[in-house]
Structure 1
Amino acid sequence: MLEVTPTDVEWVETLGEVFCLTFVKGLDEAEALSRFGALPDTLRPRTLQQASDDYHSYEAGYPEFVFVLDLGTWTVLIEPDGFQGSLTEPLTALSRGTEAVSVERHEYADHAFCHAVDGTLVTAFEPTWPQDRWGSEPDRLLGKMRAAGLDPDADPEDRDPLSPPYIPALLLAGLITGVLPNPDALAGQVLSAEIEPWFNAAPPSGADGPADPEMAAALQAAPPRLLREVATREATRLATVLGLDTTPGLAEAIAAAGRGEPVRVSPGSELGAHVRSWLTRSRQAGGSLNDSSARSRMSDDERTAAHLRGWFANALKAALWPEPHAAARAALHPLTQGPPLLRDPAQETAILHILRGDQP
């Protein structure tokens, strides 16, 4: 068993107020990065400071980074200023065919510990409150939790309020994996890449479906053929509304998805380059609002256009997603819950008719 103490892992606090460490078993660095949505053309050694400078840079597009370390049987992905590994969908996608563990510190939201096996979230909890757990087997790790100092039966009043809960959570990760990064592992330049979640192995965002019960019921009852039809129809409509319908490779990709064919858009493809540019511009639109040095770099119209293209990119990933129900639910998200410019009551009615099989 790995023998470490809280003092041995306190170095992670140098990563800042927001970070995530995600351990994945049996995947080499390349496969782990690919599943995580790393952009291959950005893969190179960097220092933490270099990544931080770009993360806060309008010119760089406010990118998120992941650093990767080979720990033998396990590979660890380290996100300074990020938390993708703590989200259920990316973590479970990363764990397909293997096992993954993530520990997140987030001083402005919740800390997190998650353990996933073969595409299923097994145990998850906020380390501040280890008594509240969820997942398919919320009690699986009880013995290791107690050994790491996360006893769910302990009196909360006996806990040191100054002791950061992500430290014992990282110890718990070490007890599961048998490995932890060396305190000096991130000194100097380390292999890293920009990440773009659009290209990761997780389902599209918005796959929970529309809030409208009538539309939700129609999606649930519709056969795969109709689900693919409405997903690709909606992506095509949005592309036309936003003037993106002539984007090279776009119509072909949507048509192939509509036929039920597998479609993969790589970050280095021509269509992938356009997707990346839409998402970068959308990040700049949002990030510059909180960046006093860049707020004036975009006009209100430019910012609106950039946000709309971000919405479209997410709908496109949905339309290309192979699982029909998740594809349709997420692809309809802009139509049913998006900005006014993307809403269309007539189209929503037409979609309901298609899903019900009574298209006029």
Structure 2
Amino acid sequence: MSIPAVEDSWARIEAWLARHAPASHARLRPPASVSDIEAAERTLGVGFHPDLKESLRCHDGVDLQQGAPTLAYYGPPSSVADIVDSTRFLRGIGADVEPDDVLDEDDEDYDELATYWHHDWLLITLGIGWQSSDGLFLSCRPGPNWGRPGRYFDEDIPSFTAWPSLRHVLADYADALENGTTFDGRTPLAVDGVLLWDDEKTTVPDPASPLALAAAAGEPEPEPPAPAEPDPVPGRKAEGQRLLMVRVRRSSPPAPPPMQPDVVFVAGITPEELLRRLGAIPETLRPRGRQRARESAIAPWAAYRPMVRAGTLGGWAYATQEGAYGTQDGVAAQLLRPEVLRRASAGTRAVALTKRGPEVSVTLTEDGVPNPEQARRVESPRENHIPVVGPAQTVLGLGADPWPGSSAAYTRLLAGLERDFGIVYRPDDDVAAELTSALLLPVLDDIDEDAHQYVTEVRDFDLAGLVERTPPQRLRRAIAAQLTRLAAETRIDGYGEVADAVARTGRGEPVDLTPDGPLDLRMRTVAAEAWAARQLLRGPGRWSEGPVTQEDFGAWVIRAEALRALREFVRLPVRAAAATILHQRMSVFWRTELAADLRTP
């Protein structure tokens, strides 16, 4: 199929803009003069490719004002002056950062992309920020890539696009405008006389469930102890050659880090009640020793959900988080989260001792309110890097305690619990004890009530103007309708309790978000699915065949975010919830649908 000439594609672009986006059409600049183009070539010492010359002879870029037409993420077309300024700027940076071992261009192994900025590249758009930090470049270097567009971004290496020429870029751009198809992954829209670009989001309808896969795997049973070796028979002599074993004394290996789990103590309740408050999953409740709990916590069965064991000390119930947890282990630490401590301390008080690398802290929460006067926090440097031969060289000391200062601080703060609260706890004392334990379905993060209060624009939409000119009740009904559409797009309305809640928002009725109620548990379960899917895709996981795909993970994240939007609609002022709901909408036609919703009485 033949590719239209540059001027033919520009004629189609102009016609579409004039008809559908006249404000953007007005930002097209007049043609560049031949003399201006030739002067730019002399200034830069580069012959412009014929496609670029033809494009500039149609329009010398655009006026960089509101409503200017852009090439989606690649930004507005550059004028001749923009090309000169950007190229000079990028050449200057390239001269400062260019490595000394770049091959000569005559070398057969020379790679044009191996430079920061090649002398014969021209930045022909101004990127998403309307400046020289990113955009499309055009190679004007004679050779196999002559006239080929590439992508430049200042935080990444340059690369050539799939388009073989600028003619192909402009032809695809014209096709996208005329047919409403995507260009560089974005869909063109004409809104209030302006060309906008938006992302049409998609999701898989039935993502693979990490939690279902975990349930099918089952909790591993402890291995039986190995049989003892038989005693040698006295008086029997081995025949033939004998192997002589010589014991060689070696230096003792470094002592392993001490056992110092995160622990929370809650006054006046039972271990079973404490587990419930922490979010224990009933079907995982059973007695476990520490070793069993830790092995189960890292098995596929756990699906990156936290494992805790609970016991009693005097008038306190206590719980410890078991197994590896923290950012690098994929299991979130629970006992330092304010949401968790607020639940645990309801009607009583909770004391938590936690250790996160260099930081050890004690917190007191009384009936959901932190008491800063009783808080203690100690930070210590990392010390498990040992010097080796050579100046300023170190290696990681395997097996050593990486935070000996933190370990000492933990011991001191643990002793302080006896003085301040009468709590006498020794982590080594309950190693073998079969304490009641369970996996947790983590409680939801708090909603930041201030995060969206001052959002004025969402996806190039004037949210502040909408809020200002729309009566509150009408605005709430319209955003509730948007929430209903979001629920359908993301498939969360397939959950009965969610469908009921969404219907209630549409009728202006209250929604029950009681902790541990059906809707709360559904939201937490979906959040746990998204978390587990993320961890399974982070690197070498615990699943041998990788049954969860990137598409599955994306679907769970979309569902979790949509459920968060529902929470915000129930909990926050409509303006704050609107920012989240409109941002999450998957259809690019949400603006048209919102206009219709606002007209509904």
Q: Structure 2: any 5+ residue segments left out of the alignment?
A: 1-255, 326-331, 381-403, 458-462
Q: How many residues align?
A: 300
Report deviation, 1:105.
0.9
Aligned to 2:409: 165
Give the CA RMSD over aligned residues: 4.4
Q: Quick one: distance in 2 between partners of 1:293 and 1:104?
A: 27
Alignment of 1:136-215 (within 5 A): 161=405, 164-182=408-426, 183-198=428-443, 204-210=446-452, 212-214=454-456
Contact 1:254 1:319 in 2 (8 A): no
Contact 2:478 2:594 in 1 (8 A): no
Aligned to 1:136: none
Q: Quick one: distance in 1 between partners of 2:432 and 2:476?
A: 48
Match of 2:259 among 14, 21, 28: 14
Report deviation, 1:104.
0.9
Alignment of 1:240-251 (within 5 A): 240-251=488-499
Contact 1:20 1:103 in 2 (8 A): yes
Counterpart of 1:184 in 2: which secondary structure? helix
Alignment of 1:271-282 (within 5 A): 275=523, 277-282=525-530
What whole-Å deviation, never above 9, does each CA across 1:251-273 have from its counterpart, x for those lacking one?
A: 22344575235443747x5x677
What whole-Å deviation, never above 9, does each CA across 1:329-350 have from its counterpart, x for those lacking one?
A: 57964655x6x85999749988
Q: Structure 1: any 5+ residue segments left out of the alignment?
A: 1-10, 130-159
Contact 2:262 2:352 in 1 (8 A): yes
Between the two structures, name the one with larger relative contact order (CA 8 Å, sep ≥ 6).
Answer: 1
Q: Quick one: distance in 1 between partners of 2:434 and 2:409?
A: 29
Aligned to 2:354: 104
What whole-Å deviation, never above 9, does each CA across 1:279-325 have from its counterpart, x for those lacking one?
A: 343122111123344383322212211222333344455556xx555
Alignment of 1:2-41 (within 5 A): 13-15=258-260, 19-41=261-283
Q: Quick one: distance in 2 between partners of 1:329 and 1:176?
A: 43
Change (3 A) 1:162 1:254: closer
Contact 2:362 2:376 in 1 (8 A): yes
Aligned amino acid, residue 174 of structure 1: E
1:83 counterpart = 2:333: yes
Aligned amino acid, residue 190 of structure 1: L
Q: Quick one: distance in 2 between partners of 1:318 and 1:70?
A: 38
Aligned to 2:244: none
Q: Quick one: distance in 1 between partners of 2:272 and 2:514?
A: 18
Q: Quick one: distance in 2 between partners of 1:197 and 1:31?
A: 16
Aligned to 2:172: none
Give identity over the alignment, percent: 23
Q: Quick one: distance in 1 between partners of 2:479 and 2:424?
A: 43
Q: Quick one: distance in 1 between partners of 2:442 and 2:587?
A: 22
Q: Quick one: distance in 1 between partners of 2:319 and 2:483?
A: 33
Contact 1:58 1:284 in 2 (8 A): no
Alignment of 1:1-360 (within 5 A): 13-15=258-260, 19-80=261-322, 81=325, 83-107=333-357, 110-123=359-372, 124-128=375-379, 161=405, 164-182=408-426, 183-198=428-443, 204-210=446-452, 212-214=454-456, 236-255=484-503, 259-260=509-510, 262-264=512-514, 266=516, 275=523, 277-288=525-536, 289-294=538-543, 296-318=546-568, 324=572, 333=580, 335-336=582-583, 341=586, 346=591
Query: Normalized against structure 1, the TM-score is what?
Result: 0.65
Q: Which has the larger radius of gyration?
A: 2
Q: Quick one: distance in 2 between partners of 1:347 and 1:127?
A: 55
Aligned to 1:6: none
Contact 1:204 1:318 in 2 (8 A): no
